[in-house]
Structure 1
Amino acid sequence: MKRLSWFWITICSIIIVIVFVSWQQFGNLSPSSRMLTEKEAAELVQERYQGEVTLLKLADQQYQIELEKQTKLYVIKLDAKSGKILSFDEGTKSTAPRPDSPVRVELPEEELKDIVLSTINGSLVSFEKVDTNQKPTYKAIVNEADKQTTIIVDAASGAILSITSSEIYPPLKTLTEDEVITIASSQVQGKVDDIWLDTEGGQTFYLVKIETNDDREATVQIHAITGNVLSVSWDDHRSDQNGRDDDD
């Protein structure tokens, strides 16, 4: 009888140990017995949706989580015990700066212009605000004696971001009629009857008609910019008149 009692005591002890160990291993880690920590909830969402958790709040055993992914914001509700996603909605991304993001205060335009003109000594042609990679900047164009310079300046710090220059070519000047007449008279002696400007094949030239003392007429073609004589053509009125006299 005594041996039987010890047998049952041993069996009960083994059962108690098994129950205790099982509770330690499974009962304590059961989702229903404890809530996820904020870190666990954030890691779960970030791993599942590949984004950045920007806000996490716990209320009524639910985590409300804001997740930024690329350029969008998502609002997620997560069961704090089971880790189950209760809702997943696209939210509205706030344009207000985060508390840890410093606000960029821009310098006055006049101060930025002074910075530009202290860098390049010239005449300010234009000054306009541009956005480069969401960074406010100003684009200034400054003319010097023989070149034009484009400067990009940071609107907040006044730092010069880039400087590029190019040569300024003077506009091509067309000869005056008096200059053309002088050139034509050096080719044909006589009285200038007419002068006009013409363009053909992308080339601009003057045509000068001159009557000579022996009753001939010449047309001198002169390049309107270089002054080169391109051609001289003749119209012999004297020969025509002689022909008419013979007919009479």
Structure 2
Amino acid sequence: MRKWMVMASATILLGAGVLVFLLFPNSSEEITMEQANETVITLYGGEVEQTTESGKVYSVEFQRADGRYLALVNRQNGQVENMELIEKTAMAKELTEQQAKDLALEKAEGTVDSISYDEGRNEYEVKVREETQISTIVLSAANGEVRKISQEPIETESPAEEPEPERIITRDEAVRLAKNTLDGELQEAEFVQTEDGGYYLVEIENDQTEQEATIQIHAIRGDTMSVEWDD
């Protein structure tokens, strides 16, 4: 009886050993790189770019639609011990520039002054010129969401003063030229600015002849433009 029980126990242990071997044929061996790659792609999808041995793990770099990742796979048990994002893939822009302009004009009434695209942020920045301010609207190029709106006032420039035309004829020269018409004592000499260079009004009085005149002398040409005699 005891002999039969010993033989039965041995048979059961042998069967259990065979079952373990069948279920875990490589439990004492390291997994291969190919097996590590297959594990990562099965779990996360994408495409393997490169795999390297690093101590007790395989470092598997793989690319997915949203970025490039690194997974560390245990070489003994095939488990993924860690996974991290190495580089995020920029989202492809969906909005065209015209669509971005149209959306910006819904937020600010005016005319589009400029538009630029930031590839890293996948954003459009649209500047809209209004009557008194410039509005800057930042839009997501993926879905058109308005992320930021800011305004800055338009600085009004004061009209530039027109430079005074250069006077070729000086005041003294104008008096001298006026005395060609009437020689006498200077009473007054006044400069008047005009678009064509201005003129001098020179008032001269001659006590001997009892004459008095106001002579108009062009400040550029030196011409006598008019003479007004006082009785």
User: Which one scores higher on RCO, CA 8 angstroms, separation ≥ 6?
Assistant: 2
* TM-score, normalising length: structure 2: 0.41
Choose between structure 1 and 2: higher helix proportion: 1
* TM-score, normalising length: structure 1: 0.39
